[in-house]
Each structure stands twice: as C-alpha cells, then as structure tokens.
Amino acid sequence: MKKSKYIWKYPDDPAFSDTFSGLLKEKNISPLIGKLLWHRGIQTEEQLTAFLHPDLEALHDPYLIHDMDKAVGRIQQAIEQGERILVYGDYDADGITSTTVMKEAIELVGGEVDYFLPNRFIHGYGPNLSVFQEKIEEGIQLIVTVDNGVAGHEAVAYAQEQGVDVIITDHHELPEVLPTAFAVIHPKHPEGMYPFPDLAGVGVAFKVAAALLGETPMEFLDLVAIGTIADLVSLTGENRVLVQLGLKIIQTGDRLGLDALIHSAGLKKDELSEENIGFAIGPRLNALGRLGEAGPGVALMTTFDEDEALEIAAFIEEKNTERKQIVDTITTEAFEQLVPDAPVHILAQKGWHEGVLGIVAGRIMQDTGKPAIVLTINEAGDTAKGSGRSVSALNLYDALNEVRELFTHFGGHHMAAGMTLPVDNVEKIREHLIAYIERNQLDLSQGQELVIDEVLSIEATTISFIDQLKLLAPFGTDNPMPNFAYKQVQPVQVRQIGAAQNHLKLQITDGSANLDVIAFQMGKEAKEFSDIPCNIAGKLSINEWNGNKKPQLMAEDYSIEELQLFDLRGKTNQQQEIPLEHTIFVYFQKESLKLVETKTTAIQFTSTEEFFAETKELTIDQLVIVDCPSEIEDMRELITQSEVSRVYIMGLSSDEAYLNGMGTREQFSKLYALIRKQESIDIRYKLKAVAQFLNIQEKLLIFMIQVFFDLGFVTIEDGVLRNVAEPENHPLTESDVYKKRLKKIKVEEFLLYSDRKKLLQWLLNEEEK
C-alpha cells in the first residue's frame, strides 16, 4: 500500500440548470467541460460569454481607483514643467514589468524619466531611505513607486518633507496606516470604488498608463501578462482578460528583448502559453533579483538594439542557470539535515544564498508535506535570515506572529514568511512551532489537498477532449489547470528517464486502452509501480513528436491500495533504500542479524503471539524480512496478521542451504572415511583445511558434520571432533538435522527463486504454493 502524497478532494456533481445545459449544447461544449466551468463559477450565459471571449470592454475604468485623477494630474504637471521623474520598482518579475510599463508610459507623453530597482541584499524590499536621499540630491523631483510603497513610511515621509512628491502604486496588503504620499494608487484602497481587487503590481501600473494616455495601451499587455502570471495573483476577472489578450500580443508583437528571452529559453514565440511564462520566463526574470541586480530586466524589455537584447538575454540565461545550480546544491544539503519525524523542518547553515531560500523551503514542504523554514547564517554566526513555506493546515504568519519579539524583521502570510532573527532564537522558533501545532491540535500528517476535477477513463482521454480544455485557459491562481484521476489502472513499461534518472515515464492501462504518463521528480519511486493496480492523478497535455499527437498525463500524485512486496533479493536489489519510519526488521534465525545493518527496530520471530506482544506499542507500516523462515507459513501468518502495507523481502541465508544442497552420498562417504582415519579433528581450526582437502563447500561441510553428530557417528567436545568406534547404523534421512535441511531447501527455493508476482499472490492467498 502506498498512501497518496496529497488528500484527493472530489467536487460534488453539479446540478446544471436547463438553461446552462442548453448553452453547452448550443456552443458544442461537452458536459464534462461544462462541469469544470460550473465549478469555476461560470453558470450563466453572461458569465460564459465573458469567460470564453474576454475583450477590452471587460476592462474597468482606471479612474475608479482611489487617487487616480490626482496621480495622473501630478505626473502631467511634472512633464509640463520638465521635472525629473523616478520610477522606483521591485526586484522580481512583477517589479521589472511594472517598472517597464510605467517608464514607457511616461516617456510616451514626453516625460523625462529614470528608474531604480533595489538590490534585495543591499536595499531590501520597498522604498529605501538612503536611495531616496541619494536620488533627491541628484535632482529627482517626483517619485512613482511600482509594485511596492505601502509599507515605506520613513522614505516616503522624507521625500515629502523635501518637497518631492511620491505617488505610490502598489497591490500588496494595505497596512492600517498608509504612508503620507501625494497619492496612493491601490485597487483595494478603502476609499476607492475599483471592482477588481486582485491586480498585480504591473496591472496597477497598466491602469495608471491607461489613465495617463487616455486609452488602453495594447502594446503594454505583453508585459502585463508576464508580471501577472509570475506574481501568482488570481487569474480571474480582469486579470484573465489582461493575460489572455497579453498572450496574443506576445505571440504577434515585436518587443526585441522579450523575443530574445523567449528564444534563449528554447521556446516558440507563436506558441507561448501561460505555462511557459510561469515556468520559464518568470523564473528567468526573477533570477536576476535573486542573485543581484534586477535592472538588466528593464533594460532588456526597453531596448531597441537587437545586439543588446541578445547580450542581456544571454546574461539572464547564465544567471538562471546559476540560480538553478545554487538551488540544487542547497536543496541537497538541506535534505541531508532533515529529521523525518519532525513536525516542522527548520534548517540553518552558513553559506547558503539567501536569494533562493524560499524556493528551497518550498521544495522541502512539497516533498515532505511539512512546513519548512530555511535560513542562512551570516559570517559572524550571530544572525539568521531566510524564508518559510507552509501547508494549508498551519497559518505560518499567525503562528510566528505570536513570538514576533524573537525576530529582527518578520513578515508574510498564511503560506509563506520571510524573517531575520538572532541565531540563538532559531531553536526557540522550532520549539514554539512544535508547541503551537500541538496546542492547536493541527494534523499535518494528512498532507495538502489536491482537487480532482473528474475521474476519467483512459478511453475518454482523447486529443479532442484535451483540446477542449483550452477553453478554460489561461490557467493560474483561482483558475487552475484541471486534475484528473484514473482509478485502479495497471502501470506498464515503467522506466527512469533524465540525465540523473530522476523522472519516470510509464503507461497506464485498463485493459482496453493505454495512456502515456510522465512523472517528474519520481525517479526514485520506480519500484513502487509494479504489477499492482494504482490510482494516479495529474494534468493532461498533448505530446507531439514528428507530427504525431498523443494524450499524456503529467502525474502529480498516486496511491496503491493493495499490499506491496518489494524485492531486495540479490546484491543489486539490496542497494534499494528502505524507508525506516514505522519499519521493523524481522529475522527468523539468530545468526541472520549480523548479515544486515539496521537503524531501526529488529525482532527475532519465534511465534506470532510473541511478535505481537513485543510490538503492541509500536506503529508498524513496513516489515523487512531479513532471512528465510524454517516454516514458510510463519512468514505468511506474520505478514497477514500484522496488516502492514509494505513488505521488503531480503531472504538472506547464512548457510545458503539451497545453493549448497544436501551433499551427495559420495561426499558423505569421503567425510566419514576421513573421520575414521583420524583420532580427532579440531574443527575450530582445521575446518577450512578439511573443506579444501575434500573439495566440499565449507558451509555444506558444517551441515554434514552436524548430521553425523545427530546420528551419533561422531562426538564434538570443545570444538574437537572424534569418531565413535562402533556407532549404530542409521540412514542419513533419519537425522532431524537432515530433515530440517530438506525443509529449509524447499523454503529457500520458493522464497528466493519465485518471481515477485508469484510471492505476492501466495501472500494474498490468491494461489497456493
């Protein structure tokens, strides 16, 4: 049995109105696509039309945003009076695109404008007092922030005191008290009337640009799409319109820098999707700010020089490669520090690059299902700084906010947090979070939810169905790409792929049809997909190769409901990693324990009664069968009664009975003849020499001597073997040792040389041995 990583959540079947059913038929939309639309709140003709065919008419009046008229008037005044204007941005993809939109919009109406993007390691996030002082001394007369500002009280107050107006355009959570800026442009401003609160920073900048230019500036929609997707804001309502129209502008536009970046990422401009932006374009722009200066991102987006565009795009590609290498290195080091049973992972180390710690924390959280905080320690060893990522069950911001006094700096929300704190307080944070989880009785073992939009049959997974799913795009926050589940399907042709063999490629079949599956980062789990049916869920795509198109499932999660049997027989298979949590190593022969190294509980099996008495206080999910039992039914009884979900068969044999056999009549005769000729043999020291002389394998020789001793042909005292002068005559088959060996050989033959499928069927009583 293999539990799913996530909790699979299935939506209720909707009760379509007759009107909506009629709409679906009229527009030739399948009922299944209709179900997905219904669950996304698209339930009327007006909503359906707006969703499927977004256009400029759906965009809201920018002047509904608080202070918009005031801000536009001040910018126009600055342009008329020849004032120097500074656009103060942010170091992520949203900040880069916001800065570009605002800069180009002001330049279009004749303004003299410069821009500044802070360095996260030097200036931090938001308005920086020293930068404002420096820019004002250089002659800046108006500052317009984009994608930041509502938390910049000190810097904004300074500028206003110096007679330099500050216009804030932002979309982040509003504090109780706003800075004393000339104007605050924010879609959630309590005194505004803007109907859509979820614009990204670039969306707010676009609204200012539209108001300033007196029309919708279509040429900026490519930037709006990139910033909106990269910032993970809701892809519903107005954002859906902006992104869908923006994608068309990207595919047909002529922004040199963006074209160069698309090409360097190995993408096709005319096929660019929101997925490409989210996983390729956005991360490349973000890499600049994560590792240093984000300014080249704006230079790239605004250049009219093709050579410069190619040069900057190549530089960004280098930075992104560097970023990925740093993330991989830190992730590897962080995973080595994990304590599997810990309810929350808090990891700190010198030398970790602070710009990527949020990514690393996210990877740990996704892999373990536990909240993770990853911190870098400064050279002095007294300060830790980093990021945390949480699961839905734990509000990380609320939990840490209870001990805000332990931090030098702290901020965040339900699922993520950034922090700086004294190193001495790291352990206190760990203790507090563990206590918080216990006090609030939070169950973090359940994992995060994975919404399953529908259980599909493989036969229903067609190219035409996947094409219809595109009606729901662009996908993103609040409009996710659908997940589909396939129940009790058989995995076949499982193989590891990728340079590091860290991905899986397989097919699933229900007996009538097959479906290709790609499972990223599941390479280590190849042995989980054997000849047992599984449940598997993920997102659908079309794999196109040499003009051929095939449906394909991008797996997100899977589960197996039946008992799993893992084959660790043979040296190669024994290199397989065994999860040690809730695992017991079982051995039937005392001498077998020395054959393995175990970091968990090991118990010698004598009877099921004694085994369960010894383990009644333990949680057991897995058994590792170290050796071979004397009675094969002992093993089946142990496994079936323990109700474990996973069994690993090592099947080691200290005397290798099956391999060495019973010994031939000739071999027994040679041994007996040798014994009769010797007065005594000290088998403690002479065993190897005797084995070589008789050409009998040493372990087999020991067994043969035991048979002679059992039948009274020899005596053994203090390791010295002597023959009995006139022993009673007995056939070898009368020896209990001989009989046990016969039985052991039969057990080893079945346990060690039956294929895995036959063993599993026998364990499940599906066929008798």
Domain definitions of the chain by residue range: 7-48, 61-319, 344-439, 564-654+749-763, 658-734
Q: Output the pTM of the full model.
A: 0.82
Backbone φ and ψ of 451, nearest 5°: -75, 120
* The domain defined by 344-439 carries CATH number 1.10.287.3510: no
Q: Please check the confidence at residue 768 and state whether its pLDDT lies above 50.
A: no
Taking only the tens place, the pLDDT of each residue in 387-443 is 999 988 899 989 999 999 999 988 877 888 889 999 999 999 999 999 999 999 988
Say if residue 769's pLDDT is above 50. no
CA distance 483 to 6: 12
Q: What is the DSSP letter of 360?
A: H
Task: Please give the average per-residue pLDDT across 728-756, as a whole number.
Answer: 92
d(CA 750, CA 769) in angstroms, rounded, equals: 8
- What letters, b where the CB count within 10 A reaches 16 and e where it falls short, cover 367-382? ebbbbbbbbbbeeeee
CA 259 vs CA 56, 295, 367: distances in Å: 25, 18, 35
Alpha-carbon distance 448 to 416, whole Å?
Answer: 15
The class that CATH gives domain 61-319 is: alpha beta
Q: What tens digit of pLDDT does each residue of 549-589 get?
A: 999 999 999 999 989 999 898 876 666 778 788 899 999 98
Taking only Cα atoms into account, the Rg of the chain, rounded to an integer number of angstroms, comes to 35
- Residue pair 198/187 in contact (Cβ under 8 Å)? The answer is yes
Give the mean model confidence (pLDDT) for residues 744-760: 90
- The mean of the pLDDT values for the chain is 93
- The arrangement of secondary structure in 564-654+749-763, i.e. its CATH architecture, is 3-Layer(aba) Sandwich (3.40)
Mark 261-272 as b/e (b = at least 16 C-beta within 10 Å).
bbebbebeeeeb
* pLDDT (mean) for 673-695: 92
Beta-carbon neighbour count of residue 720 at 10 Å?
14
Question: What is the per-residue pLDDT across 293-316, written as a single tens digit (0 to 9) for each?
Answer: 999 999 999 999 999 999 999 999
pLDDT 10s digits, 612-623: 999 988 889 999
Distance CA 6, CA 449 (A): 5
Q: Are 646 and 566 in contact (CB under 8 A)?
A: yes
**Rounded Cα distance, 706 and 655, in Å:** 13
Distance between CA atoms of residues 412 and 415, nearest Å: 8
DSSP string computed for 605-626 = -S-HHHHHHHHTTS---EEEEE
Compute the distance between CA of residue 452 and CA of residue 482 in angstroms, rounded to an integer: 7
CA dihedral 357, 94, 299, 307 (to 10 degrees): 80
Within a 13 Å sphere around the CA of 728, how many CA atoms are in the beta-carbon half?
A: 7
**Chain CA centroid to CA 307, Å:** 38
| pLDDT band with cut points at 50, 70 and 90 for residue 446 | low
Higher-confidence residue: 720 or 531?
720
Give me the helix-helix angle, 698-710 and 683-694, nearest 10°: 110
Cα 69–200–242 angle (5° rounding)?
85
Q: What is the pLDDT of residue 761?
A: 86
H-helix or E-strand containing 133?
helix 129-137
- Has residue 121 got a pLDDT over 70? yes
pLDDT > 70 fraction of the chain, expressed in percent and rounded: 99
The predicted-structure confidence for 652-666, as pLDDT tens digits, reads as follows 988 889 999 999 999
Residue type, 43: Q
Predicted local confidence at residue 68, as pLDDT: 98
**346 close to 426: Cβ distance less than 8 angstroms:** yes
Q: Is 469 exposed, middle or buried (0-12, 13-18, 19+ CB in 10 A)?
A: buried
Residue 226 banded pLDDT, cuts 50, 70, 90:
very high
C-alpha to C-alpha distance for 114 and 84, rounded to whole angstroms: 8
User: Which tens digits make up the pLDDT trace of 622-632?
Assistant: 999 999 998 89
Pairing of strands 601-604, 583-587: parallel
Take residue 609 and report the two structure tokens written for it.
């009664």
The 10s digit of each residue's pLDDT in 154-211 is 999 999 999 999 999 999 889 889 999 999 999 999 999 999 999 999 999 999 999 9
pLDDT at 650 over 60: yes
Tokens read off for 94: 């949203």
pLDDT band at 767; cut points 50, 70, 90: low
What is the tally of helices (H) and strands (E) in the chain?
Answer: 27, 26
Which pLDDT tens digit goes with each residue over 387-397?
Answer: 999 988 899 98
Question: Following DSSP, what letter does each residue of 400-418 receive, concatenated?
Answer: HHTTGGG-SEEEE-SSEEE
- Residue 253: CA atoms inside 13 Å, Cβ hemisphere, count? 22
Name the H helices within 657-735. 657-660, 665-677, 683-694, 698-710
Mean pLDDT of the 521-538 span: 91
- Which pLDDT score is estimated for 173? 85
CA 396 → CA 50, 389, 425, distances in Å?
A: 37, 8, 17
CATH class, domain 658-734, is mainly alpha
Q: Measure the CA–CA gap between 669 and 655, rounded to whole angstroms.
A: 21
Q: How far apart are CA 585 and CA 627, in angstroms?
A: 10
